[in-house]
Structures are given as C-alpha cells and as structure tokens.
Amino acid sequence: MPVSNTSMSPATFWADDGTAGIVDRNSPDTPKTPGAPARQVTIVNRRGLHARASAAFARAAGAFRAEITVAKDDMSVPATSIMGLMMLGAARGDSIRLEATGDDAEAALVALETLVTERFGESE
C-alpha cells in the first residue's frame, strides 16, 4: 500500500516486487550514483507509458541483476514498479532518464532503451 506524502520531500511506496520504492521529487537529472550508466530515451508509442507498457517495462527490468530507476521531470521511481512508472505520466514525445547500477546495469539499459524505442511491442 503506498505511503502518501504531500511535501516535496521523497515519498515512499511499495514496488510490485514487495520492496520499498522512493518517488524522488528532487533532481532527476542529477545521477543518483555518480558514474552509473544512464540513458535518455524518448517515448515514441502513441499511448505513452500506460498500464500495459509499464507492465512490460517492469517485467523486463526485473529480469536483470541491477537496480534501475526511471526519472521524468521531478520524479524518479524504481523500474520494477508498474504503479511508479504510471505515476511518471510519460506521454509520447516525453523524455525519460534510465539509470542502473549492478552486474547487469549496461545490458539492462540497452534492453530497456530498445523496448521503449520499439514502442513496447505496440503497433503505434
């Protein structure tokens, strides 16, 4: 169950895998881990990061041994959280930042960037 927080400080919520996640409303453009691999990706599918696309993204992110975050504007969420991803409100044309640490960090970023650029497998 999400824990709401109305202040501008980070808010805690539960990710789909049962771990706690943070919605960071501070600076998504500042890397969480200096030197961590990162990518800027533009959402190209018509519906943006909606429920089905978020589920596909979270499932793909969970397949790697890496801690992956996704940021848009002033929010950053765990890549394995469907609800967190949907909270970003990423629409077609929006840019998201992917950042990863861990053994599979680079491979995870390549796979997730490909998933986004291929429209999450959607036709438009």
Q: Is 50 noted as a catalytic residue in this protein?
A: yes
* Residues 66 and 103: beta-carbon distance below 8 Å: yes
Q: What stretches of 1-124 show up as alpha helix (H) in DSSP?
A: 51-62, 82-87, 105-117
16: left (phi over 0), alpha (psi -120 to 50) or beta: alpha
Find residue 20's DSSP bridge partners.
Answer: 14
Q: In terms of residues, how long is the chain?
A: 124
Q: HSE-up of 30 (CA within 13 Å, CB side)?
A: 5
Class of residue 32 by CB neighbours under 10 A (exposed 0-12, middle 13-18, buried 19+) = middle
Which of 32, 50, 52, 119 is flagged as catalytic? 50
Please give the positions annotated as active site.
50
